[in-house]
Chains A and B, each alone.
Chain A
Amino acid sequence: MIRAVVAVAAALLLAFIIIPLAGLVLHLAPRDIVSALQTPAAQSALCLSLLTTVIALAITLTLGTPLAYILARAAFRGRSIVDAIVDLPIVVPPAVAGLALLLVFGRTGTFAPVLARLGIQLSFTTAAVVMAQVFVSSPFYVRAARAGFLNIDRTLESASATLGMGPLRTFYFVTVPLAAPALLGGAVLCWARALGEFGATIMFAGNLLGVSQTLPLAVYLNLEGGSMPVAIALSVIMIAFSAAVVIVVRLFERR
């Protein structure tokens, strides 16, 4: 009896996840999805999303790898606080993150005088899209990378040092290859979160075609007043990306 209840409860939740996604994917015939994706709005959103997420990922890898390494290796006062700060964007609502970015980097924000003097405008630009994506997605990479670095046997790094490799070359030849599954898994998750970013982007970067209208924003706009088939086709693309991410992350975890 208890087994049956447990099985039914599990099946219900599973069905609740599968049915809406399957309904969305099966709503349009493949032919209609292809033709909806060929509209200029869809193409623009797709290109912008790919461009901004790749730049956001590159920034996160460049800045997040040293941060993850410091969190895994360095002993300093306040490390747990830094740790918590890194995790904060995961739990802060994206709209709040967008508002925070706007208040600091926006046209009337804290850094407005400095940015104006340099002739830089960030809010409602493609740069703002990238900033919003880095803000919400970087913790996924930093967390995974930190765990990857923590799991490495430090003796191997010591062995590298006694064999003549300095700290940077040891990092490149030993630490990174050994942490690679964690780093790649974290990077894929980070990219997927950036791709799905909506709330912070619409607050800080707006919803301008070709400038800040990424895939999730295009889905929203087309659902509101544009073309429903375009909204559905773009959603199907994002589900396909998400499924690919889940599979890739699982493959890395198995290694």
Chain B
Amino acid sequence: MLHIDVGLQMRDFTFAASTEVPSGVTVVVGPSGAGKSTLLRIIAGLLRPDSGSIVLDGRVLSDHRTFVPPYQRDIGLVFQEYALFPHLSVGRNVAYGLRARNVPARERGARVQAALDRLEVGSLANEHVGELSGGQRQRVALARALVIEPKALLLDEPLSALDPQTRGRVRSELASILSDIHIPTLLVTHDEADRAAFPQRVLLIEHGRLISGAQHG
């Protein structure tokens, strides 16, 4: 369970979010500039809230005394443009988080291959990330975030970087992949079609305020 109750004064608005995210996918829908990415950046530890707390599975990540830096949070984040390291191969991109955890090379190789296979991109391990299609990039980014066995997963507009033709196909593939992941997963989007593809739980965000009342059970 991910418990969020935070406030942050932004330049244009006051950001405020208070909700609990259970295991499974929760979609956060809102227009551009509403504070969707801010929410994810606060949870990931890339932004420090002014007030409130974040608690993940009983561990305080942020409150008035504690601030766990992003590299100690065990939260997977898939960035909007995927943020794959352009100087590393697909395999090394996915291995990156395991390297950070000093996982031995042999175990690292096996876990990377398993993560890539699980997302059906096992044959791409030696490819350069610049040669991947949009859908492949998303799968590699997801493999990279999941291979570290995070305690929560955040996806920032995971479909917006794709062209409209592939978006529909990748959306249903993503829904199928995420249905197997049993950790608190927040997917932010401005696209109503995404909301329909992930109907389990939906929150709305407007002008920096997360409206919990809009959630569906």
Contact = CB atoms under 8 A, between A and B. Distances in A.
Given A163-B148, A164-B97, A164-B101, A178 B86 contact: yes
B87 A162 contact: no
A163 B144 CA distance: 8
Interface residues of A, number: 18
Interface string B94-121: 0011011100000000000000000000
A170 B97 CA distance: 11
A116 to B, nearest CB: 48
Interface residues of B, number: 26
Which of the listed residues A153, A158, A177 has the most CB atoms from chain B within 10 Å of its own CB?
A158
Contacts of A43: none
Given A155-B79, A169-B100, A162 B44 contact: yes
Interface stretch (B65-73, B169-177, B184-192, B197-205): B65-73
A166 B69 contact: yes
Given A166-B69, A166-B71, A169-B100, A161 B46 contact: yes
Nearest to A177: B87
Nearest to B154: A162
A225 B12 CA distance: 72
B81 interface: yes
B71 A165 contact: yes
Given A158-B70, A177-B87, A163 B97 contact: yes
A156 interface: yes
B86 A155 contact: no
Contact of B79 (A158, A165, A166, A174): A158
Contacts of A222: none
B96 A165 contact: yes
Given A165-B100, A178-B87, A159 B71 contact: no
A242 interface: no
A15 B186 CA distance: 65
Contacts of A177: 87
A173 B71 CA distance: 14
Contacts of B45: 161-162
B83 A158 contact: yes
Contacts of B145: 162-163
B100 A159 contact: no
A159 B77 contact: yes
A227 interface: no
Contact of A158 (B46, B72, B86, B100): B46
Given A158-B46, A158-B70, A159-B77, A164 B148 contact: yes
Interface string A157-194: 01111111110011001100110000000000000000
Contacts of B49: none
B148 A159 contact: no
B75 interface: yes
A166 B81 CA distance: 22
A50 B148 CA distance: 47
Contacts of A178: 86-87
Given A162-B77, A163-B100, A164-B97, A156 B85 contact: yes
14 contacts: A155-B81, A156-B86, A158-B44, A158-B46, A158-B79, A159-B83, A160-B85, A162-B70, A162-B76, A162-B145, A165-B96, A166-B69, A166-B71, A173-B99
